Amino acid sequence: MAVQTVAGNATTASPDLGPAAALSCRECGERFELGPLFACASCFGPLEVAYDLPTGSPEELRKRIEAGPDNIWRYAPLLPVPADVADKPNLNPGFTKLVRADNLARELGVTGGLYVKDDSGNPTHSFKDRVVAIAVEAARAFGFTTLSCSSTGNLAGAVGAAAARAGLRSCVFIPHDLEQGKVVMAAVYGGELVGIEGNYDDVNRFCSELIGDPLGEGWGFVNVNLRPYYGEGSKTLAYEICEQLGWRLPDQIVIPIASGSQLTKIDKGLQELIKLGLVEDRPYKIFGAQAEGCSPVSAAFKAGHDVVRPQKPNTIAKSLAIGNPADGPYVLDIARRTGGAVEDVTDEQVVDAIKLLARTEGIFGETAGGVTLGVTKKLIEAGVIDPTLTTVVVNTGDGLKTLDAVSATSQATATIKPSLDAFRAAGLGTA
């Protein structure tokens, strides 16, 4: 293993993160050694992982991936993880179902093929297991002993579970007023769970202070000082969607936006597949989805602005309730560059969409899934999403975590005595 000098004249072994070569600034391109850094020392721009990507033929790489495990580690040659990652204690998320949603397609008038990428099938029932799995490997490589995060709910559960499995301590932070399902899922794995009196943006600000304090020494905050690595986990959604379509780009993808990280990294993943020759290079459009009660990116998109003005969130889609999204400007860029759009729906439309997906395809998504399908429906009706093209809707979480959203209207049809007479008298069973 190479030994190199890092800032401060300390000598450390360089971390083994597989094909990851360096961190590079998204704004000015300056490169830094791999480490727990997230902002460029020159311009404060966000850092991302730069790679020495595989050089063999696309056919060889495709075969290597297809022979890999049925989880995100099949894409290890494209991720900042050591080559033996599959042997480490990790929750091994990913390779979730890409469901061909023909019933839903008929209902929405889509003829070009409609698919739901169902990430509720991950170990803690949201897409956050993907990003955390990569962050855990970075935490291990940098010698962190405590795993932490600021969370809108799902991330706290994913960090708690991954830390338990990896044998790390965890201490995670959430807004105090989250859904019961999210709180219990975050607490059950045995780490510390701290409710902060404030919204997500307050939680995030608190975590930034903690990182600078001696108390936070030795802590890996998956979405702060490990953010460049964390973000790479979302690329696996792009890889899987294309592989499951038979190594083909979809024409249109609809993705929910909280911080915007997932959307920007799905785009990065698609670009990598094109560059590596794993898919044919043809145009695709990326659409972003928000709830009206927290729609800073959608508002900026519709106003034609490049900057995102922060909002104070008020929506049932709590997993997406980030009023000041870090990657907002990049999301705007991607939506505009690909010919996509960013749109929002009301809480009522979110609930309708959750029930539509459940009723047509047997998939119970959380409120974020309702946002994404609600926006898909709205954009099809507006003629913005083309129903004759292949469309993928990403369902990022499980409805069991947000039961309150539908509990008022999803109850027993009737309650009766255990007799056929009572059943008949209630007029049931004939629908």
Binding to ligand PLP, residues 47-106 (CB under 6 A) = none
Cα–Cα distance, 258 to 181 (Å, whole number): 19
Binding to ligand PLP, residues 289-348 (CB under 6 A) = 319-320
Is the alpha carbon torsion for 122, 126, 131, 137 positive or negative? negative
The mark string for 203-242 relative to ligand PLP (x by CB under 6 A, - otherwise) is: ----------------------------------------
Helix (H) or strand (E) holding 252, with range, is: strand 252-256
Q: Taking a C-beta distance cutoff of 8 angstroms, is the pair 25, 43 a contact?
A: yes
For position 128 contacting ligand PLP by CB under 6 A, the verdict is: yes
For position 402 contacting ligand PLP by CB under 6 A, the verdict is: no
The mark string for 358-387 relative to ligand PLP (x by CB under 6 A, - otherwise) is: --------x-x-------------------
Of residues 35 and 231, the one with the C-beta less far from ligand PLP:
231
Query: Given the rule CB under 6 A, which of 108-116, 204-212, 252-260, 423-431 is the region that contacts ligand PLP?
Result: 252-260
Taking CB under 6 A as the criterion, the residue among 146, 261, 311, 376 binding ligand PLP is 261
Taking CB under 6 A as the criterion, the residue among 90, 225, 262, 402 binding ligand PLP is 262
For position 132 contacting ligand PLP by CB under 6 A, the verdict is: no
Q: Taking a C-beta distance cutoff of 8 angstroms, is the pair 282, 335 a contact?
A: no
Helix (H) or strand (E) holding 422, with range, is: helix 420-425
Cα angle 39, 45, 46; round to 5: 60
End-to-end Cα spacing for the chain = 68
Sheet of strand 285-291, all strands in order from the earlier edge strand to the far edge: 98-100, 114-118, 391-395, 252-256, 285-291, 341-345
Of residues 61 and 253, the one with the C-beta less far from ligand PLP:
253
Query: Given the rule CB under 6 A, which of 20-28, 54-62, 123-131, 235-243 is the region that contacts ligand PLP?
Result: 123-131
Query: Given the rule CB under 6 A, which of 59-67, 142-150, 256-264, 275-283 is the region that contacts ligand PLP?
Result: 256-264
Q: Taking a C-beta distance cutoff of 8 angstroms, is the pair 60, 48 a contact?
A: no
Query: Given the rule CB under 6 A, which of 65-73, 255-263, 342-350, 422-430 is the region that contacts ligand PLP?
Result: 255-263
Q: Taking a C-beta distance cutoff of 8 angstroms, is the pair 203, 151 a contact?
A: yes
Q: For the CB of residue 176, give the shortest distance to ligand PLP in the complex, in Å.
A: 18
The mark string for 146-165 relative to ligand PLP (x by CB under 6 A, - otherwise) is: ------x-x-----------
Within 8 A by CB and 6+ apart from 177, the residues are: 195
Cα–Cα distance, 170 to 147 (Å, whole number): 5
Of residues 128 and 378, the one with the C-beta less far from ligand PLP:
128
Distances (CA, A) of 308 to 74, 142, 196, 330, 338: 36, 33, 25, 10, 19
Q: For the CB of residue 13, give the shortest distance to ligand PLP in the complex, in Å.
A: 31
For position 258 contacting ligand PLP by CB under 6 A, the verdict is: yes
Of residues 226 and 276, the one with the C-beta less far from ligand PLP:
226
Query: Given the rule CB under 6 A, which of 77-85, 141-149, 259-267, 354-362 is the region that contacts ligand PLP?
Result: 259-267
Cα–Cα distance, 304 to 234 (Å, whole number): 27
Which residue type sits at 297? V
For position 183 contacting ligand PLP by CB under 6 A, the verdict is: no
| The two three-digit tokens of residue 160, written as one number | 């708690």
Cα–Cα distance, 71 to 69 (Å, whole number): 6
Within 8 A by CB and 6+ apart from 163, the residues are: 136, 147, 169, 170, 189, 191
Taking CB under 6 A as the criterion, the residue among 46, 216, 228, 397 binding ligand PLP is 397
Point out which residues pair with 39 in neighbouring strands. Answer: 46
Q: For the CB of residue 69, give the shortest distance to ligand PLP in the complex, in Å.
A: 24
Taking CB under 6 A as the criterion, the residue among 256, 269, 328, 340 binding ligand PLP is 256
Of residues 225 and 261, the one with the C-beta less far from ligand PLP:
261
Taking CB under 6 A as the criterion, the residue among 260, 269, 296, 374 binding ligand PLP is 260
Is the alpha carbon torsion for 106, 107, 108, 113 positive or negative? negative
Of residues 92 and 126, the one with the C-beta less far from ligand PLP:
126
Of residues 278 and 319, the one with the C-beta less far from ligand PLP:
319
* Binding residues vs ligand PLP (CB under 6 A): 126-128, 152, 154, 256-262, 319-320, 366, 368, 396-397
